[in-house]
Amino acid sequence: MLTNKACATSDKKINEEAPCILSCPIRQDARDYVQLIARGRFSEAYRLVRERNPLPSACGRICTHPCETKCRRNSTESPIAIAWLKRFLGDNFSEETRKKTTEKYPEKIAIIGAGPAGLAAANDLALLGYSCTIFESNPTPGGMLRMGVPPYRLPRTAIDNDVEFIKKLGVEIKYNTTLGADITFDSLKKEGFSTIFISVGLLESRTLNIEGVTLGGVLKGVSFLHEANTTGNAKIGKNVLVIGGGAVAMDCARTALRLKPDKVSVACLESRKEMPTTDFEIEETIHEGAILYNSVGPKRILGKNGRVAGLETLKVKYVFDEQKRFNPAFYESSESIIEADTIILAIGQASNLSFLKGQEGIQVTRGGTIIVNPNTFSASVQGIYAGGDIVLGRGTMTESMAQGKKAAIAIHNILRNTALQDEKWAEKPAVPDIAESRIPLIKKEQKHDMPTMPSDKRLTNFDEVELGFPLNTAVKEAQRCMNCGAGAFVDDNLCVGCLTCVRVCPFEVPKIKKGDTTAYIDGDCQSCGLCIVECPAKAISFKTPLEDRGKNTLDAVFQEKFIQGVKPLIINFYCQYSAYNEDKADTVDSLLFLHVKRIGMLGLGKVDPSLYLKAFELGAHGVLVTACKDDDCHFCKEREWVERRTRFTARLLSGLGMDTKRFQTHFVSSQNGKEIIEIIFKMVEELRNLL
């Protein structure tokens, strides 16, 4: 350490945040859990997700994933499947995560509604030390996740698993208890609930103000889904038409398809591009057999004998006016008819505020949402808070969870008169888009498809359509992540401006701008680590502690008690990018557990030659470096560096009189296949003869 220079300050390290994190309403640590999966550190990844997200299994399935929309991999080919990776964690891992606080506060908090907002608020308030009770009108938890989202997208076990965790924190859920019917604000107060958080959601479907909506066979989307999702059979005819273009409309159509009518159609105002749901949902709906009518507006519902016979539509001129407000206009005399015997209205939801009867002090908007202070979430009556869809009007699952989480802190701050803040919500600039000139230097790696149930099997049941990533696919998908915002950074105090980083970077990221004396590495850094190793002044490091470049892992190997007796002991530095090329992920580990300790890294370009020396210094009898073959290199250029550095190390070691067999480098296509097992067996044998 250059003692006359100040050390880097931590705030200098992370100045820009990954867009995936910033775009998430709950600021889920998307990049970091993806990076942990990429390294095979699944339990840590799960813990990281769960610490921020009270409903990971549900979220991994139905989140609208703005993180993926903003993912910088969009510039090279397609985004990382961030949500599916979260689902992979939620489905396969489960363990105690955050320790409950030892703090116990006396206030009892009532939460109305066990949907995403209520569950998130309860989760976070419980962690802060409050005793929470959720009052839910349904017999099961989840709110709209259960009533609205069909089980083929979100199996009920996923919701139950998530809720089980929240219950373990001490949260009590009272089912079949409706505010306004079974309990009242006054009765809650009498029971000692000084604070009430209202998160009842939007339980009603919006209706259309056109002729024919009262005809038999006109169903409301939310009621239809509720019926279908709880009883499994809602009453529909043979020719179903869903009106609406959002996620709920797609859910209605796909649910209707499973009830086996002759035909299901969807009609919406929006063009295909304008539809307010994900492409994936639309594609799956069409794939399963629904017919989509875009850019048509409902004029009137046609009837016959008091029942629906069809929908008369008008062609849409535009949906949004020049001020981008929702203000649809239609072409005159463009009428046409879509025949149907059942029409499901899925054009949005509305609130049911009947529980506020006698609580006129609580102010509501004309649209039927509760007015709260956006910072404190408190309604206009003391002790009453609200969040989620009942405040937002229309929100996603994650937006509702964010409301619940923020409300939990706000409630805590008011009750304790503190100013606790969640640093994750601090404003930060996003890592900018990848420079155009850099895109060709980054290896194209296509997004992995989600395995799905064959379409001919889907429509006979409500089983989950998306089957989830198997382990190898999950890791490979995670390894596409560019680690945005967490790559290398230069400590200005240590940089000597030698230009080494500028010259060695395969992505041409480091620069010394005119007038500057030190190098600067921007957000396009791909985290290969080559510059970190080559920097003669040790001025470059990774921004996050996730990447220790093998140092801690190596130390940990020699912390194990029995290790000193092992002979020969081989330390194998291997590239994790080829570690999941074969199904048998842990074959090598179990076969050669005794003699070989493996230290995996995302690219061996991160390994300092001095670490190879250190392995010997600590007591290894042999060091084996197994790197990827040329074509496999995620960073494209690491092979030459691995060759160069291992040659350099071999020279140093032979200078010390060490047998060359003790330090070996091999380039293999898989870190778990036959090839590597043979290499290891051979090396163990060679060292046995040598020692």
- Minimum CB distance to other proteins smaller for 503 or for 567: 503
Check if the beta carbon of residue 135 is closer than 8 Å to that of residue 177: yes
Residue 122 DSSP one-character state: H
Check if the beta carbon of residue 483 is closer than 8 Å to that of residue 87: no
- Minimum CB distance to other proteins smaller for 182 or for 617: 617
Round to whole Å and give the CA distance between 159 and 201.
17
Residue numbers at the binding site for other proteins (CB under 8 A): 1-5, 496, 498, 500, 503-504, 534-538, 608-610, 613-614, 616-617, 652, 655-658
Check if the beta carbon of residue 39 is closer than 8 Å to that of residue 576: yes
| Rg (the chain; Cα; Å) | 29
Which residues are paired to 626 by β-bridges? 574, 666
The CB-of-658 to other proteins minimum distance in angstroms stands at 7
The CB-of-6 to other proteins minimum distance in angstroms stands at 12
In the chain, how long is the greatest CA-to-CA distance? 100
Whether omega before 150 lies within 30 degrees of 0, making that bond cis, reads no
Pairing of β 326-330 and β 307-320 = antiparallel
The CB-of-611 to other proteins minimum distance in angstroms stands at 9
Round to whole Å and give the CA distance between 496 and 535.
9
- Minimum CB distance to other proteins smaller for 367 or for 536: 536
Report how far apart, in Å, the C-alpha atoms of 70 and of each of 21, 30, 32, 36, 267 are: 9, 12, 16, 20, 29
The CB-of-106 to other proteins minimum distance in angstroms stands at 55
Round to whole Å and give the CA distance between 283 and 637.
38
The CB-of-94 to other proteins minimum distance in angstroms stands at 42
- Minimum CB distance to other proteins smaller for 462 or for 663: 663
- Minimum CB distance to other proteins smaller for 56 or for 609: 609
- Minimum CB distance to other proteins smaller for 471 or for 504: 504
The CB-of-323 to other proteins minimum distance in angstroms stands at 57
Run of H or E residues at 327: strand 326-330
Q: Which residues contact 509 (CB under 8 A, 6 or more apart)?
A: 438, 521, 522, 524, 525, 526
CA angle 379, 384, 389 (to 5 degrees): 65
Half-sphere exposure of 392 (CA within 13 A, CB side): 23
- Minimum CB distance to other proteins smaller for 6 or for 181: 6
Category of 615 on φ-ψ map: left (φ > 0), alpha (ψ -120 to 50) or beta: alpha
The CB-of-613 to other proteins minimum distance in angstroms stands at 4
Neighbours of 325 (CB within 10 A): 8
Phi, psi of 549, rounded to the nearest 5 degrees: 55, 35
Check if the beta carbon of residue 403 is closer than 8 Å to that of residue 391: yes
Neighbours of 354 (CB within 10 A): 10
- Minimum CB distance to other proteins smaller for 307 or for 647: 647
Pairing of β 239-243 and β 342-345 = parallel
The CB-of-504 to other proteins minimum distance in angstroms stands at 7
- Minimum CB distance to other proteins smaller for 252 or for 539: 539
The CB-of-627 to other proteins minimum distance in angstroms stands at 20
The CB-of-540 to other proteins minimum distance in angstroms stands at 11
- Minimum CB distance to other proteins smaller for 98 or for 503: 503
Q: Which residues contact 678 (CB under 8 A, 6 or more apart)?
A: none
Question: Residue holding tokens 């992540």?
Answer: 481
- Minimum CB distance to other proteins smaller for 323 or for 660: 660
Round to whole Å and give the CA distance between 258 and 458.
8
The CB-of-499 to other proteins minimum distance in angstroms stands at 8
The CB-of-596 to other proteins minimum distance in angstroms stands at 21
- Minimum CB distance to other proteins smaller for 4 or for 689: 4
